[in-house]
Amino acid sequence: MIVRVPGDKSVSQRALLLAALAEGESRLRGVLPSADPRSTAGALRAMGAVIPPLPDDGSEIRVVGRGLRGLEAPRSPLDLGNSGTGTRLLLGVLAGQPFESVVDGDASLRSRPMARVTDPLGAMGARFEWLGEVGRLPVRVRGGALKGLEYDLPVASAQVKSALLLAGVVGGVPVGLTEPGASRDHTERMLRGCGVSVLTHVRGPGRRVELRDPPARLRPLDLDVPGDLSSAAFVVLAGLLGVTPGPVTVEGVGLNPTRDGMLDLFRRMGGRLTVEATGDAGGEPVGRITIEGGTLRPIEVDEADVTAAVDEIPAVAVAAVRAPGVTRIRGAGELRVKETDRIRAVAVNLKALGVDVVETDDGLDVTGTDAPLQGRVDAFDDHRIAMVFGVLGAAPGNRIEVEGRESVEVSFPGFWSLLERLRHG
């Protein structure tokens, strides 16, 4: 069976932001028509960017940008919904805009740490006033003239790195960053496509990223958004757990090497995966992944694995349920500050299904079993938690009810019908 997955969420969000900041009209195809990019688009429209509604079929949209410092002060708080990426990247943009704005989001987003971006943005000259709890949304931003930044990121985070690079671009100031691991580099690639010089050097397991001479304007984008590798992970998981009767191929999926760690992890678990590069879209490698099942075995997952597959660790933990022995996941503390505490969510749900799982500060030990799994689990308002347990529930012999199925709308509209197709061919 051949399937496609919707557009990449990370690339879609960045494309909307950079198109809004470019001078002239950008053309974007395959933008993910889901809640997160819609929140980001809504915030950009509230500041004067001309962005049409995101079409459900991913057809081309034309975005008229406002230039680097041409956004207008929004009249009401910017509501970023559930989108951590939209929020953090936008905070970088707002830091360099000469106006005041308020950024807010849903209950999940209000619980997520924002000081990781506002501290370094504050060092560049932006001012932030917490309107609720310190370090959490809502926040009032007073942007303006910025100064350059030299900064060591305490955690490998593409969102923090991107926010700081965007602040440098908008503010027209140099930024030098060192990160302890190699986080996804979509922003660097897309900025290069807009005519910005961003240099990257390997530094041990991490990276040194430099924005030296930010240009006065950004070239508009003409870009095809690849399918989302993180969404493809659920199809791969379905193949590994025997949801699909035969081999399944995901076509047109982004294969960015800074975030394809799940391919390695699933292969180490015994998954039979074939990956074929077919070309390039918007500066990102694209290809197809074929899954032909496999006999699963337990693995040890460390911090570097987590950085390269940060959103796929719940899928690895769920695959581990069918790997006889103990899969140990460590160095995954960042999962506790995602859309929900994903370590806790996976542990609570697996326990509810009778799986032997131990939660540690920064990871999980999952003991594989071949028992049929039945029961009720909670999505914890987190799209990826809903989807991994949806796939586990579709595996032969299991009957799992997922509470909060609608949260998949954040990143994967059509997920439940695709799962039915995978199941029944």
| Binding region for ligand S3P (CB under 6 A) | 10, 85, 157-159, 162, 183-184, 310-311, 334
Task: List the structure tokens of 217.
Answer: 């304007």
Least Å from the CB of residue 198 to ligand S3P: 15
Q: How far is the CB of 338 from ligand S3P (least distance, A)?
A: 6
What is the CA angle 121-126-130, rounded to 5? Answer: 90
C-beta closer to ligand S3P: residue 233 or 355: 233
Least distance (Å) between residue 112 CB and ligand S3P: 9
Shortest distance (Å) from residue 159 CB to ligand S3P: 4
φ, ψ at 412 (rounded to 5°): -145, 75
The beta strand positions in 295-361, using DSSP E, are 300-301, 326-329, 357-360
Residue, CB closest to ligand S3P: 10
Q: From CA 23, how far away is CA 70, in angstroms rounded? A: 10
Tokens of 4: 């496609």
Give the C-alpha separation, 208 to 276, whole Å.
29
The answer to whether the Cα torsion of 385, 390, 396, 398 is positive or negative is positive
**Catalytic residue check, 311:** yes
Question: In the bound complex, what is the minimum distance in angstroms from residue 157's beta carbon to ligand S3P?
Answer: 4
The β-bridge relationship of strands 100-104 and 139-142 is antiparallel
CA distances from 73 to 94, 251, 324 (A): 10, 41, 57
Residue type for position 95? A
Distance of alpha carbon 237 from alpha carbon 255, whole angstroms: 17
Closer CB to ligand S3P, residue 4 or residue 184?
184
Closer residue to ligand S3P, CB minimum distance, 207 or 322: 207
Q: How far is CA 141 from the centre of its chain?
A: 24
Residue closer to ligand S3P (CB basis): 166 or 236? 166
CA distance 3 to 140: 43
**Cβ atoms 264, 255 nearer than 8 A:** no
Structure tokens at 55: 């079409």
**CA-atom Rg of the chain in angstroms:** 21
Rank residues 168 and 368 by Cβ distance to ligand S3P and give the closer one.
168
Distance CA 84, CA 382 (A): 12
Query: DSSP letters along 52-74, please?
Result: ----TT---EEEE---TT-----
Nearer to ligand S3P, 189 or 322 (CB): 189
Cβ neighbours, 10 Å, residue 216: 8
The token pair that represents 197 in the structure block: 């010089």
Tell me the closest approach of the beta carbon of residue 247 to ligand S3P, in angstroms. 28
What's the closest the beta carbon of residue 310 comes to ligand S3P, in angstroms?
5
Residue 5 or 243: which CB sits closer to ligand S3P? 5
CB of 276 to ligand S3P, least distance (A): 25
CB nearer to ligand S3P: pick between 15 and 243: 15
- Which of the following is catalytic: 36, 311, 378, 382? 311
Residue with tokens 């199809």: 235
Residues with catalytic roles: 311
